[in-house]
Amino acid sequence: MGGSNPYTKDAAPPLPKKAYQLTILPAGVTIQVDPARIPYSRTGHKGSILEIALGNDVEIDHACGGVCACSTCHIIVKQGLESCSPATEDEEDQIDNARGVTRQSRLACQCVPDGSCDVVVEVPAWNRNLVREGPH
């Protein structure tokens, strides 16, 4: 999927300059993020948690295609929030629609770590789509 949301006005955040580890819970998947490989997929901001996860076959729901138009890719950053791009007003507006929002809540399609430290994120239970249609 991918694309852009004509209603958002913020520019894409800067890409990471250093390699780092991204761990996605509860799957327990750790990805070695190499900035030279970005983009990993074509969904969400380049270098975003969503883009890296999908590019490494780790599914995170994203009903809008990663363009900051829903809250289905809601994640909670458990470690490394300080290395992530700041949330934009558009992202905060969408996060307001998510269940179980915390101070560490972000949209995976918008959250771009800068590589200054490792990052651990959790996909909340209510955001995990356990039933999928079609081949996996």
Joined together, the tokens standing for residue 90 give 């558009």
Whose tokens are 């998510």? That residue is 98
Specify if 53 maps to a domain.
yes
Specify if 11 maps to a domain.
no
**Domain of 83, in residue numbers:** 20-127
Specify if 135 maps to a domain.
no
Specify if 3 maps to a domain.
no
Angle at 20 between CA 29 and CA 101, to 5 degrees: 60
Q: Does 41 score more than 80 pLDDT?
A: yes
Number of structural domains (the chain) is 1
Mean pLDDT of 23-41: 95
Give tens-digit pLDDT for 1-22. Answer: 445 554 555 578 899 999 999 9
DSSP string, 28-69: TEEEEE-GGG--SSSSSSTT-HHHHHHHTT-----TT-SSSS
Helix (H) or strand (E) holding 91: helix 89-95
Q: Does 131 score more than 50 pLDDT?
A: no
pLDDT, position 58: 94
Residue 121 belongs to a domain with what CATH number? 3.10.20.30
